Structure 1
């Protein structure tokens, strides 16, 4: 498999064939990452400079920027270059949402609106929407665009990506939705991961309720008894986990009373969404055993996962997919379900 290298203006610089390892980590709600290992040669050093862009094989739908921790190592055992980086949406992490604004509409429209008002990214254009109708209402001031997009994507359960066009020298922001391939539905071909299908190897089940909350009291404008509060969620007895959330940063003067209360409620619901029970399965899967990766299932699809030994069967979204290329072979490591909690918060 060839790795093609381009400069940041999408001009081709060359290709690498002699890599020893590539981990291509795709993510549905976030910016993907990669790690590449190859021999130290003059040509590889010339090509693999920070800021350059790489793609793999014939797949030009995804590309990544060399950025972050890089290394060259020489010893009696190894003589290799290590390169790390992020998929093209990393450029959104270099931008802020700008001065305060209020938004009330669909999640996809919010993403397009923020791209339109942030400082322009060279070559970037906006593609079509999927038609998802999930609505959101919020107020933001100088937030990191990529972090906000991650939260919006999780809220609506849609993915986003930036697709390069190396001929036209453009990059297009797109949203997309995974396909329901669960056992219970009958519209699409079913995809099942289990021991009986021999495609659920080295499985690991993760569960975390460390940040789980059921009820949030959102505090808005005012002080003391005159302060505005709204309650989102509920629960009782041992099942109640409540928390206070300060939302004074939401500017009441820019909204009607009804809009302001709705913005506080939205902030509370977003907090609960970010502090739910997180559960996922990680497993190593052969790319063409029973179901062919990229044809029968892909990133973002919802599939059925069964683990008889653990007495569990769940319908879970493929939120991450790590493609591993080593020793001339390839296998994939899908993550089914939610990634474990992050520390990103809407109210920061």
Structure 2
């Protein structure tokens, strides 16, 4: 597997991309793909004048076997040592980090599908925004029913990347920016259910019984849970707009974990009715719901003959994890991150899982 280093030059509303070098002699590579946040990478390579000239900030690092994820170099660290040798550490994030350079401005009030709202926000801030454009960026493919759900929301001055991934986590989808020739495409998608609780797709089961679960740790914490929100909007005193929100049946007694949400900055324009404004408040309440936290860390077999990463399953998919020795079975758990590591010891996979309701 080779690394490809590209030079990216922005020219008004377009980009120019040229291949600068191909590298296959690095000491180690970390390739961290995340579903609900921007992923990152790290290249550790022997320092030489040639490598220092190749790995420059702002350049693109790609893998010859990955057409979806492209990293942009953000940080370089050169260390020289007479005994251990000279090494260069190259780090950065994937191209979605470009959205972090913009805030959402001015205020946008939108009503419709999540896909339409994301399109509107991106158009006004990075695609059809004059000098605020990210050159070469346009909408790519949209897959997944989660993006067709309807909502109404108002957003202003939020960091664009953080806002987008908040939406993703709220609805269970994800976003990624990939390089497609001399263009950048922003794709919206969702994971596939491959757990034992469904029958449409082949099951993916990581288990000590199958010898594909090499290590496993599990922790649960309900202290941070929030499942019922009191949401207060604009106004003062008794005239202040307010509502409540919960997902599904209203929790009661010891099952009720309340949170106060202050949305005083959520304005009500003349064209927004009271009912529509309350829906905006409810959306804010939904964003503040917190499920009981679980921490499940594992190391899975990188060269399993049963399942191959990025062929049989992908980050974002729902799978099953079992530790039968201790009777712990997570029948439907989402793979929300995967650190793929290459070094002198070979290739390893370290997944991150998140339980779903």
Match of 1:269 among 264, 282, 286: 286
Is 1:195 the counterpart of 2:202 in the alignment? no
> Which of 170, 180, 186 lines up with 1:173 in the alignment?
186
Moved over 6 A (4+): none
Measure, in 1, the Cα distance between the counterparts of 2:18 and 2:90. 20
Counterparts in 2 of 1:126 and 1:235: CA distance versus 1, 3 Å: same
| Aligned counterpart in structure 1 of residue 152 of structure 2, from 137, 142, 145 | 137
RMSD: 1.8
Structure 1 position 60, deviation (Å): 2.9
Segment drifting more, 129-138 vs 119-128: 129-138
Q: Show the counterpart of 2:264.
A: 248
What is the 5 A alignment of 1:112-127?
112-118=119-125, 119-127=132-140
1:72 maps to: 78
Counterparts of 2:90 and 2:269 in 1: how far apart (Å)? 49
- Contact 1:66/1:86 (<8 A) preserved: yes
Aligned residue runs from structure 1 range 32-43, under 5 A: 32-43=39-50
The equivalent residue for 2:163 is 148
Kindly indicate whether the alpha-carbon contact (under 8 Å) linking 1:153 and 1:160 is maintained by their aligned counterparts in 2.
yes
Secondary structure class of the residue paired with 1:151: helix
In 2, Cα distance between equivalents of 1:271 and 1:78: 50
Contact 2:60/2:73, CA 8 A, preserved across alignment: yes
Q: Is the 8 A contact 1:16 1:44 kept in 2?
A: no
Match of 1:230 in 2: 243
Match of 2:52 among 41, 45, 55: 45
The answer on whether the counterparts of 1:321 and 1:335 sit within 8 Å (CA) in structure 2 is yes
**Matching of residue 107 in structure 1 with residue 120 in structure 2:** no
User: How far has the Cα of 1:209 moved from its partner?
Assistant: 3.2
TM-score after normalising by structure 2: 0.89
Query: Do the aligned partners of 2:224 and 2:293 also contact (CA within 8 Å) in 1?
Result: no
Structure 1 residue 145 displacement after superposition: 0.9
Match of 2:221 among 208, 229, 246: 208
The equivalent of 2:38 in structure 1 is 31
Distance 1:52 1:191 in 2: 37
Please say which of residues 285-294 and 34-43 is displaced more in the overlay. 285-294
Gaps of 5+ in 1: 340-348
Query: Is the counterpart of residue 4 in structure 1 residue 4 in structure 2?
Result: yes
Structure 1 CA distance, aligned partners of 2:325 and 2:236? 55
Structure 1 residue 280 displacement after superposition: 4.0
* 1:207 Cα deviation after fit: 2.8
SS state of the match for residue 307, structure 2?
coil
Moved more, 209-218 or 90-99: 209-218
Mapped contact 1:319–1:338 kept (Cα < 8 A): no
Measured against aligned partners, the alpha-carbon deviations of 1:275-315 in whole angstroms (never above 9, x if no partner) come to 22122422112223121112111111111111123322121
Structure 2 distance, partners of 1:191, 1:126, is 31
Q: Is the 8 A contact 2:295 2:354 kept in 1?
A: yes
Match of 2:128 in 1: none
For the 8 Å contact 2:220–2:292, the answer to whether it is kept is yes
Residues 29 and 319 in structure 1, CA contact (< 8 A), matched pair in contact too: yes
1-structure distance, mates of 2:140, 2:72: 21
Q: Which of 303, 306, 323 is 2:340 aligned to? A: 323
Task: From the superposition, tell whether residues 177 and 236 of structure 1 become closer, same or farther in structure 2 (CA, over 3 Å).
Answer: closer
The aligned counterpart of 2:255 is 239
Distance 1:144 1:103, change over 3 A: same
Mapped contact 1:181–1:303 kept (Cα < 8 A): yes
Could you tell me which residue of structure 1 aligns to residue 297 of structure 2? 282
Identify which of 70, 86, 89 aligns with 1:82: 89
- Structure with more strand by fraction: 2
Q: Secondary structure at the match of 1:67?
A: strand
The number of residue pairs the alignment matches comes to: 334
